[in-house]
Structure 1
Amino acid sequence: MRALVDIFESLTSSIRFVIGLFVLAVMGFGLMLTLGATYVAPRAVESLAEGAERVGEKAIEAAQQERRAHEMGKDGWGYDAATTKSDRSERTSRSGSAKDGWAN
């Protein structure tokens, strides 16, 4: 009978040990998530925001340069840099067709 009680105690202590390991694993995972949300995520968001800001500034600068070049091209100060696809396609469609108002 004592052997049966020892086996039962051994089994219950093993189950308690496995459950304890599971609880520790869940607590460790929760700690990792908490630390990640507290320290890592704000730094990552901050670096992404800085990168997006730099990209936005570069896009604004490129658009301003393109607009300046286009305006200078209209006034005759620039060449080819101010011409865009729409300008080129507009010129070719007008020169290639008889719809310019003269040959109606």
Structure 2
Amino acid sequence: MGIGMQIVYLGCSATAPLEAEAATQLVRLQRFGARLSNCRLAIEALCLRSGKPLYDVRLDRVTATHELEPIGRYAAGNAEEAVRCAFDAAEQALQAAVFASTRRR
């Protein structure tokens, strides 16, 4: 069974390209399935004074006690770019956690 993901949109609506990007990026985290069974992706559109949107994307791991633990975050003017970069940060954080646990052995 793969990793589950709930997507929450704040101040914006779901689009097919954005949903596809999130699903594509989730595949990258499948190898961390032992450490990550569920996650929550929050995509928030913030309105700047300039009138240009800024997308704040946060990826949280859902713990066994149903708490959210941040593993990736990024903000960009393009929602798909922000999603990719948040997953980059999550992948690096999970990789570091795996490395740290193997060093303790």
Q: TM-score, normalised by structure 1?
A: 0.25
More helix by share: 1
| Structure ranking higher on relative contact order (CA contacts 8 Å, 6+ apart) | 2
